[in-house]
Amino acid sequence: MWFESYYKNRKRWIWITVLVAVLSLFSLPFLKFAFNFEQFFPTGDPDLEFFQKFIEEFETDDNFLLIAIQNDPSIFDTSFLKKIKQFTSEVSQVKHIKEVQSLPDFRLPSINLMGPTFTPLLKLDNPESLKLDSIKLLNDERFIHNLINKKANSTVVILKTEDGIQIKASKEIINGVNKALENKGISDYHILGRAYFQTELSRLQFKEILISTIISSLLISIIMILIFRRWRSILIALSSIALALVIFLGLLSILGRQLSLMSALYPILMLIVGTSDVVHIMSKYFDELTKGNKKKFALETTIRQIGLATLLTSLTTAIGFASLLSSRIIPIREFGINSAMGVIVAFVVMITFTCPLMSLFDSNLLIKKTKSKYNWNSFLDWCFRKSAMNGKTIAILSFIFIIVSVIGITKIHTNYELSKNLPKNAKITEDFMFFENEYAGFRPLEIACHIQDGYKVYDYEVLQAINKTESYIRSKEEIQTSYSLSTIVKSLNQGINFNRQESYVFPDSSDYGPIRQLMKSNFLMGSESLISKDQTKTRISTKIKDVGADNIKALSRDIDQWINENVDDSIVKMMQTGTGIILDKNAEFVRHSLLYGLGFALLIVCLLMGLLFKSIKYLFIAVIPNLVPLLLAAALLGYGNIPLEAGTAIVFAIIFGIAVDDTIHFLSKYNLSYAKHKDVEKALYITFTETGKAIIYTSIILFFGFLVLLFSSNQPSVIIGLLISITLVSAVLADLFLLPLIIRQLDKPKN
Residue 404 confidence (pLDDT) above 90: yes
Three-state DSSP class for residue 152:
coil
Q: What percent of the chain has pLDDT over 70?
A: 91
| Predicted pLDDT of residue 373 | 45
Type of residue at 224? M
| Predicted pLDDT of residue 751 | 43
Residue 750 confidence (pLDDT) above 50: no
Contact 537, 57 (CB under 8 A): yes
The residue that leads in pLDDT, 589 or 165, is 165
CATH class of the region 439-580: alpha beta
Q: Which of 16-30, 63-77, 432-446, 662-676 has the lowest mean pLDDT?
A: 662-676
- What are residue 38's phi and psi, to 5 degrees? -60, -30
Alpha-carbon distance 702 to 684, whole Å?
Answer: 24
Contact 158, 66 (CB under 8 A): yes
Alpha-carbon distance 557 to 25, whole Å?
Answer: 52
Q: Which helix (H) or strand (E) holds 589?
A: helix 586-613
Fold adopted by 62-199: TATA-Binding Protein (3.30.310)
| Predicted pLDDT of residue 417 | 81
| Predicted pLDDT of residue 698 | 77
At a CB cut-off of 8 Å and minimum separation 6, what does 619 contact? 606, 609, 610
Three-state DSSP class for residue 511:
helix
* pLDDT tens-place string over residues 481-524: 899 999 989 988 888 888 888 888 999 988 898 888 877 765 45
The residue that leads in pLDDT, 596 or 234, is 234
Residue 474 confidence (pLDDT) above 80: yes
Three-state DSSP class for residue 542:
strand
Distances (CA, A) of 240 to 96, 273, 341, 420: 46, 11, 17, 37
| Predicted pLDDT of residue 319 | 78
| Predicted pLDDT of residue 465 | 95
Q: What percent of the chain has pLDDT over 90?
A: 21
* pLDDT tens-place string over residues 179-213: 999 999 999 999 998 889 888 877 887 777 777 77
Contact 108, 54 (CB under 8 A): no
| Predicted pLDDT of residue 35 | 63
Contact 109, 123 (CB under 8 A): no
CATH number of 229-410+586-750: 1.20.1640.10
Type of residue at 109? P
* pLDDT tens-place string over residues 276-303: 788 878 888 888 888 878 888 888 888 8
- What are residue 368's phi and psi, to 5 degrees? -110, 120
Indicate the domain borders of the chain.
62-199, 229-410+586-750, 439-580
| Predicted pLDDT of residue 374 | 45
- What are residue 111's phi and psi, to 5 degrees? -120, 120
Alpha-carbon distance 316 to 319, whole Å?
Answer: 5
The residue that leads in pLDDT, 710 or 521, is 710
| Predicted pLDDT of residue 1 | 63
Quick one: pLDDT band at residue 324, thresholds 50, 70, 90? confident
The residue that leads in pLDDT, 207 or 80, is 80
| Measured torsion, CA atoms of residues 555, 445, 54, 162, in degrees rounded to the nearest 10 | -160
| Predicted pLDDT of residue 13 | 92
Residue 562 confidence (pLDDT) above 90: yes
Alpha-carbon distance 15 to 541, whole Å?
Answer: 61
Residue 37 confidence (pLDDT) above 70: no
* pLDDT tens-place string over residues 711-721: 777 777 788 88
| Predicted pLDDT of residue 179 | 94
* pLDDT tens-place string over residues 95-104: 999 999 999 8
